[in-house]
Chains A and B, each alone.
Chain A
Amino acid sequence: MKKKVISMLLAAAMTVSMVSGMALTAAAEESTGKELSVQVGPNPETLDPALNSAVDGGNMILHTFECLLTVDQDGKIAPGQAETWETSEDGLTWTFHLRDGLKWSDGSDLTAGDFEYSWKRVCDPEVAAPYADTVLSMVKGFDEAIEGDLDALAVKATDDQTLVVELSSPCTYFDSLAAFATLSPVQQATIVANGDSWAVDPETYVSNGPFMITEWEPSSYIITAKNPYYWNADAIKLDSIKWNLIEDANASYYAYQNGEVLFIKDVPTEEIPSLQDNDEFHVDPIIGTYYLSFNTQVEPLDNPLVRKALSLAIDREYVANTLMQGTYSPAVNFIGPGWKDTDGSDFIDNANGGEPYLSANADIEAAKEALAEAGYPDGEGLPVLHYITNDAGYHKAVAEYLQDAWKEIGVTLEVELMEWASFTPTRRNGDYEIARNGWVGDYSDPSNMLELMYSTNGNNDGKFNNADFDAAIDVSRTTTDAAERSAALHEAEDIMMAETSCCPVAYYNDFWLQSPKITGAWHSAYGYWYFMYADIEE
């Protein structure tokens, strides 16, 4: 009996090890041609262009799909699937002319009708695309389409190569939206046949970009191979790109160090000081601002002077360059570098008469004066304030800094760390006093960020409500005159900064490690990396 038991155990052990041993040897390494191995984020929740709302997912979609227009290396809008496009004089009709002989990655023809289908699909309530509002709300018939009447959307393929879009109000930056990943064309046949799951299986993931997915091992890697049917395939030098779906920053750093990947986006923050002089370490701005939301509907934060005092007491130079190790830059405006004015110049250069709204250094005296003027000299009579944040990146360090900085003007701050999934609804519902916040632009028109302060905007977490500000935004939405629109946007920023509707702290940068072997790749102000025209030099 006892022998039986021992032999049973042994037999079981041997079976397990044999089975696993077989599985191990089965997956031997194969040659993959010229493959670029990169890390831009963990497993994407979705790679369906209509459903994606994440930057890393968007980065992969950018390589597998191509919109009507694209963004080039200089950040300018460039021809994509459309070779030319024009706008009517009233700015309400946009016409796109597609290239000849466009094809899907399965070799079938791609026509303007595919764009019509895809754009209408974005409005489909059954699809519930998170970015439908952002990219299509200015198109005529959007309100009916989002309720289910898709054909009401004024997007029409007049022939196989022409797409005509009618807007209900002028949108001078509609070309940026035509380059936005959400509006990528998707193939009707594969979606009808496979439903939502079309986008999780390489077999059914038909795309039209420079690369196409050939393998997706969730939470491990995605392999995209060169798409031979892409119109500009001759310019693509890589055979494939391997997107390593690494979640842990240390793991990606080690993988970079031992050469398993040539590019990593997630660099452990504790390694940054040692990387400052390393040529492979890159820091580049993206359009976005790390800011604090004040709940403008609760006492004492309903008083602009209190908000101003809190903002003045912050040393942004210290926060960005010391606390955040230079991975951020001090924010002196709400709209930072990279955002474009209506004439294509940098919005920040024309803001506030060319002067920054805020000082990069703390002004404790002015902060105390503002607080006294608000009726709280040296913080007397001011209740304890509460700050909420999730615990990631530098958020906790910033919270601790705020406690110290505000103590200097007599303000006591209590910090509450929240788990991410609870933090977002709490902030959105306004169940807080002061909260960490941030925004990274979807396109470089400043309205994308200024509208966050519009009274009815879903992302107006501070519940800022100012009639003059709303009026300025309304003008920017309706005018077709570039100068008038620019003036309205600047006025809006003037108002929100004068009212301290929120407190800008730092501008976002992307920082990453990139092997010098990679040539021809670039990074955009939207936080995307473009590897499609890259090459590897040995």
Chain B
Amino acid sequence: MVKYILKRLGMAVVTIWLVATLTFFLMNMVPGGPFLSEKAVSPKALAALEEKYGLDKPLFEQYLTYIKGAIHGDFGDSLKQRGRTVMSIISSKFPVSARIGGLSVLLAFSLGVPLGCISALNRGKIGDNIIIVIATCGIAVPSFVICTLLMYTFGVKLGWLPTLGLKTWKHYIMPVAALAFYPTAYITRLMRSSMLDVLGQDYMRTARAKGLNQFVSLFKHALRNAILPIVTYLGPLIAYTVTGSFIVEKIFTIPGLGGEFISSITNRDYTIIMGTTIFLATLVILMNVVVDIVYKLVDPRINLK
């Protein structure tokens, strides 16, 4: 297993390098630049800025400088938010997104799995139908609608919850709920179909035939097999959720990392684009490795080679 993990990590380095290289050249192909504004900056000031950040150098040289810096852990300064480094932005904003994201994954998992099971066990009955309708809505309704609805209902009409920032525990309720909506619905559906699949297996029929009570058969035999697809889904879900959501952060004025992904692109803030992309890629790859390990724990038949 150690050998396997080392191999995966080696591959991860190559993948991250590929992602970084592609992103670097693609973003430079897009028209526009970080120092353009509605009012023209004088050519001298523009030239001075480009020199300061090395953007006057040939593209390949810029690339080499960047990669060299990145290997040494230097991801540069933000080109738009002068005085802030890429590392300082990520390290101050990631914890905020991670907290909200982590809580919502937790919520989604702890709601989605039981709901999926209940739904599967009551297939075709009223409970199943209700759960499926809600789950379908959760997948179909875009998050900005959910955010706005929550905010309007609980923030304005009822006045129960604050709408700005993250000062107290009350501030967390709406953003976490909004962020958890989609994954809860997805996990519920995934769990339901996977559970139904497992319930139809021969060994489940055997378990029932030999008189095992339903609770034991469900938790001992069915759940462990049925949960594998959820584990697969959890890896990338955690990676994407803890890095923040642009929409939820924008609507609830949360200083998370999600906003940086989008605004860095519209601002052409090259160093932030690179930094956040590499960070996300690393996280996704790491989570996938973790998923593989959890796989092995949940299902010992899986051979990690």
Binding site for B on A (CB under 8 A): 1-2, 4-5, 8, 13, 16-17, 20-21, 23-25, 27-29, 45-46, 48, 51, 53, 125-126, 128-130, 132-133, 146-147, 195-200, 217-221, 244-248, 250-251, 254-255, 257-258, 260-261, 419-422, 424-426, 428, 438, 458-459
Contacts and interface: CB of A to CB of B under 8 A. Distances in A.
A91 B111 CA distance: 75
A220 B255 contact: yes
A21 B82 contact: no
Contacts of A129: 45
B39 A245 contact: no
Contacts of B52: 126, 128
Given A1-B300, A220-B253, A246 B164 contact: yes
A16 B109 CA distance: 13
Given A247-B259, A459-B40, A24 B155 contact: no
Nearest to A27: B167
Contact of A428 (B40, B148, B159): B40
Contact of B36 (A13, A128, A220, A421): A421
Contacts of B8: none
A255 B164 CA distance: 7
A425 B33 contact: yes
A244 B253 contact: yes
Contacts of B162: 258, 260
A251 B151 contact: yes
Given A246-B253, A247-B259, A258 B33 contact: no
Nearest to B169: A24
Contacts of A197: 83-84
B36 A425 contact: yes
Contacts of B259: 219, 247
A155 B110 CA distance: 67
B49 interface: yes
A244 B164 contact: yes
Interface string B166-185: 11110010000000000000
B163 A125 contact: no
B106 A13 contact: yes
B51 to A, nearest CB: 8
B45 A128 contact: yes
B102 A250 contact: no
A23 B30 contact: no
22 contacts: A13-B109, A16-B102, A20-B172, A23-B99, A27-B166, A27-B168, A46-B83, A125-B45, A128-B41, A133-B45, A219-B253, A246-B253, A250-B151, A251-B251, A254-B156, A258-B156, A258-B163, A260-B164, A421-B267, A421-B268, A422-B30, A425-B32
Given A24-B169, A24-B172, A250-B148, A458 B44 contact: no
Contacts of A199: 82-83
B65 interface: no
A220 B165 contact: yes
B305 interface: no
A421 B168 contact: no
Given A220-B255, A244-B164, A130 B39 contact: yes
Given A5-B298, A29-B168, A53-B37, A13 B45 contact: no
A459 B42 CA distance: 10
Given A21-B169, A130-B37, A247-B259, 20 more contacts: A20-B102, A24-B172, A29-B168, A45-B82, A51-B82, A146-B42, A146-B44, A196-B77, A219-B93, A219-B259, A221-B253, A247-B250, A248-B250, A251-B151, A254-B151, A258-B156, A258-B163, A428-B36, A458-B40, A458-B42
B205 interface: no
Contacts of A458: 40-43
The 6 closest A-B pairs by CB, nearest first: A458-B40, A421-B32, A196-B83, A125-B48, A219-B255, A197-B83
Contacts of B102: 16, 20
Contacts of A27: 166-168
Contacts of B152: 254
A2 B156 CA distance: 46
B38 interface: yes
A128 B103 contact: no
Residue among A219, A221, A258 with max Cβ neighbours from chain B (10 Å): A219
B122 interface: no
A20 B103 contact: yes
B179 to A, nearest CB: 13
Interface in B247-296: 249-256, 259, 266-268
A498 B106 CA distance: 67
Contact of B83 (A195, A254, A421): A195
B81 interface: yes
Contacts of A247: 250, 253, 259
B169 A25 contact: yes
Residue among A5, A24, A25, A146 with max Cβ neighbours from chain B (10 Å): A24
Contacts of A425: 31-33, 36
Residue among A29, A45, A133, A244 with max Cβ neighbours from chain B (10 Å): A45
A251 B253 contact: yes
A378 B45 CA distance: 47
A134 to B, nearest CB: 8
A196 to B, nearest CB: 4
A16 B100 CA distance: 11
Given A20-B102, A251-B163, A254-B155, A46 B82 contact: yes
A267 to B, nearest CB: 15
Contacts of A217: 165, 255
Contacts of B32: 421-422, 424-425
B92 interface: yes
Nearest to B110: A13
Contacts of A422: 30-32
A195 B83 CA distance: 7
Nearest to B167: A27
A419 B84 contact: no
Contact of A254 (B163, B172, B224): B163
A221 B253 CA distance: 9
